[in-house]
Amino acid sequence: MPETVPELRHFARRTAQQWALPDDASETLSLVVSELATNAVLHSGSAEVTTLIVFDGVALTVEVTDSGRWLTREADRRVAEDEDAAFGRGLDLVGACTSWCTIHPSPAGTRVVARLPVVESRADR
């Protein structure tokens, strides 16, 4: 369901606005949710993808869960032909934007949990 990705991205943005998060945290949250949802849609074969976002006042925890089975690649994705591809770097990007990210595959689906620090700008203090 490709329409799932923009829906979850908009959900992340609305949630960040409701919590009055700084713009950079909102953008990072939206990006992480988008990348994780895209992975679930493209690689799990799941008919459903759910997202949970929790803000504890210091950081955001994002959990994206699908009910599919992770489709394993038979060959390494990182080949010279993919160097300039507009896709294929989702988890690397998520890793660069988060303090940690874990993937929990199971027979019932895959759950990915990531933690994003929320840093206030000096002007907000």
* pLDDT number for residue 21: 96
* pLDDT number for residue 122: 43
| Higher per-residue confidence, 86 vs 46 | 46
Summarised one tens digit per residue, pLDDT across range 54-109 is: 999 999 999 999 988 766 655 555 555 445 444 455 677 787 888 899 988 888 88
Find out if CATH 3.30.565.10 is the number for domain 4-124: yes
**Cα torsion 93, 122, 115, 10: sign:** negative
Q: What is the pTM of this model?
A: 0.78
Q: Is the pLDDT of residue 125 over 50?
A: no
